[in-house]
Amino acid sequence: MSSAPEVRVRRCDCARVLELDGTTTPAPFLHLPRLESLSRLEPEAGELATELLELAGSECVRLRPSPPGNWAPSRPARDGPIVHYSLERTPDPEELVGLVREVRESGSVRAVTVLDPEWIPLLYYLGFDLFDALVCVHLSLRGEVLLEDFATEEREDEPSELLRENWHRFQVALERLERLLRSGELREFVESVAARNPRVAEVLRVCDRERALTRHVNMARDSEIRCSTDLSFDRPEVSEWVRRVTRYRPPEWAEAFVLLPCTARKPYSQSPMHRRVSRITREFPVDELIITSPLGIVPRALERTFPAAHYDVRVTGEWSEEEVERVANLVERIVPESAVLVCHAHGGYRLAGEELSERGFEVEFTCDRDENPASRRALARLEETLGELLDRDGGNLWDHVPRAVSTFQFGVDVLEGVEYRFDGQHVRSSDGERLLTVPPTTGLLALSEPGARVCLRAGVDPVRVEEGDVEVPEEARPGFQWPAVVEGEVKVCRLLVRPEDVPPGAQVIELR
Amino acid sequence: MPEYRGRPDRYVAAWVQPDRVTGADRSVVIILSTRGCRWFRETGGCHFCSYPLEGAGEKVPADLLVRQFERAYSRHRPDGPHAVKIFTSGSLLDPEEVPDEALERILGRLAEEPNVTEVSFESRPEFVTEERLELVTELLDGKPFEVGIGLETSDDRLRRSLNKGFTFREFARAVRRVKEFGGTPKAYLMLKLPPLSEAEAIEDTVRSAVDAWLAGCERVSVCPTTIHRDTPLERAWRAGLYRPPWLWSCVEVARRIKELLGDRVDVLVDTSGAGTPRGPSNCRRCSRRVARALRRFTATQDVGELEGLSCRCRRVWRSLLAV
* The predicted structure's pLDDT at residue B1: 58
Question: How many domains does chain A contain in total?
Answer: 3
Does A415 lie in the same domain as A367? no
Task: Please compute the mean of the pLDDT values over residues A278-288 and round it to a whole number.
Answer: 95
Nearest Cα of chain A lies from the Cα of B110 at a distance, in angstroms, of 41
Nearest CB partner across the interface for A38, out of B157, B163, B322: B322
Instruction: Tell whether B240 is within 8 A of chain A (Cβ).
Output: yes
Pairing of strands B266-269, B219-224: parallel
- Residues A484, A353 share a domain: no
User: Mean of the pLDDT values across residues A305-330?
Assistant: 89
Instruction: Inspect the interface and report whether the beta carbons of B200 and A34 lie closer than 8 Å.
Output: yes
Mark which residues 154-193 of B lie under 8 Å from A by CB.
157-158, 160-163
Q: In this structure, are A323 and A422 located in the same domain?
A: no
Domain of A495, CATH number, reads 3.10.450.90
CB–CB contact A142 B243 (8 Å) = no
Q: Residues A213-264: pLDDT tens digits?
A: 999 999 998 888 888 888 889 999 999 999 999 999 999 999 999 999 999 9
B321:A38 CB<8 A = yes
A222, part of any domain:
no
Single out the residue in A395, A427, A457 at which a domain terminates. Answer: A395
Tell me, yes or no, whether A196 and A246 share the same domain: no
- On whether any CB of chain A is under 8 Å from the CB of B197, the answer is yes
Q: Is 90 exceeded by the pLDDT of residue B64?
A: yes
**Average pLDDT of every residue of chain A:** 94
Q: Are residues A320 and A288 in the same domain?
A: yes
Minimal C-alpha gap between B195 and chain A (Å): 6
pLDDT, one tens digit per residue, over B2-52 is 688 899 999 999 999 988 777 888 999 999 999 999 999 999 999 999 999
A506 part of a folded domain: yes
Q: Tell me, yes or no, whether A486 and A387 share the same domain.
A: no
Distance in angstroms between the alpha carbons of the first and the last residue of chain B: 34
Residue A29, phi then psi, degrees to nearest 5: -140, 160
Say what the pTM is.
0.95
What is the residue range of A300's domain?
238-395
Question: Cis (ω within 30 of 0) for the bond into B195?
Answer: yes
pLDDT > 80? residue B239: yes
Of B157, B241, B321, the CB nearest to A88: B241
Q: Are residues A288 and A173 in the same domain?
A: no
| Predicted local confidence at residue B264, as pLDDT | 95
Q: Name the helix (H) or strand (E) containing A491.
A: strand A489-495
Arithmetic mean of pLDDT, B279-302: 95
**Given a cut of 70, is residue A440 above it in pLDDT?**
yes
Nearest CA in chain A to B252: A41
Instruction: Tell me whether residues A40 and B163 touch, CB distance under 8 A.
Output: no
pLDDT tens readout for residues A363-422: 999 999 999 999 999 999 999 999 999 998 888 999 999 999 999 999 999 999 999 999
**Tens of pLDDT along A141-183?**
999 999 999 999 999 999 999 999 999 999 999 999 999 999 9
Same domain, A381 and A422: no
Alpha helices in A120-254 (DSSP H): 120-126, 134-141, 159-182, 186-196, 198-209, 236-245
Provide the 3-class DSSP secondary structure of residue A432: coil
The complex scores an ipTM of: 0.93
In a domain, A275, yes or no: yes
- Is residue A412 in a domain? yes
Q: Do B126 and B166 contact (CB within 8 A), yes or no?
A: yes
The phi-psi region of residue B165 (left if phi > 0; otherwise alpha if psi is between -120 and 50; otherwise beta) is left
Q: Are residues A197 and A52 in the same domain?
A: yes
Domain assignment present for A184: yes
Cβ–Cβ < 8 Å for A66, B226:
no
Q: Which of residues 16-75 of A touch B (CB under 8 A)?
A: 31, 33-35, 37-38, 40-42, 45, 49, 65-73
Query: Among residues A347, A363, A395, which one ends one of the domains?
Result: A395
pLDDT tens, position by position, B138-183: 999 999 999 999 999 999 999 999 999 999 999 999 999 999 999 9
Q: How many CB pairs under 8 A join A and B?
A: 117
CA distance B40 to B47: 10
Q: What is the mean pLDDT of residues B214-231?
A: 96
Of A395, A413, A433, at which residue does a domain stop?
A395
Q: Do A77 and B195 touch (CB under 8 A)?
A: yes
Which residue of chain B is at minimal alpha-carbon distance from A84? B195
**Are A41 and B253 a contacting pair, CB within 8 Å?**
no
In a domain, A21, yes or no: yes
3-state secondary structure B114-171: CCEEEEEEECCHHHCCHHHHHHHHHHHCCCCEEEEEEEECCCHHHHHHCCCCCCHHHH
Q: Say if A218 falls within a structural domain.
A: no
pLDDT at residue A103, rounded to an integer: 97
pLDDT tens-digit series, residues A63-102: 999 999 999 999 999 999 999 999 999 999 999 999 999 9
**Cβ contacts of B252 on chain A, cutoff 8 Å:** 41
Give the separation between CA A435 and CA A416, rounded to whole angstroms: 14
Segment among A43-47, A142-146, A289-293, B178-182 with least mean pLDDT: A43-47
Is residue A219 in a domain? no
In this structure, the answer to whether residues A204 and A315 fall within a common structural domain is: no
Contact A295, A245 (CB under 8 A): yes
A140: nearest CA in chain B?
A: B319
What does the alpha-carbon distance between residue A262 and residue A290 come to, in Å, rounded to a whole number?
A: 6
What residues of chain B lie within 8 A of the CB of A70, using their CB?
Answer: 161, 163
Classify A296 in phi/psi space as left (phi over 0), alpha (psi -120 to 50) or beta.
left
Domain co-membership, A256 together with A110: no
Residue A17 has φ and ψ, to the nearest 5°, of -110, 115
Given this model, what pLDDT does residue A3 score?
Answer: 64
Nearest to B322 among A34, A71, A85 (CB): A34
Question: What pLDDT band is residue A461 in, cutting at 50, 70 and 90?
Answer: very high
B160 and A67: CB-CB below 8 Å? yes
Cα-flanking dihedrals φ and ψ of residue A196, to 5°?
Answer: -105, -5
Residues A145 and A27 in one domain: yes
Looking at residues A343-356, what average pLDDT do you find?
Answer: 94
**A89 to B237: CB separation less than 8 angstroms, yes or no:** yes
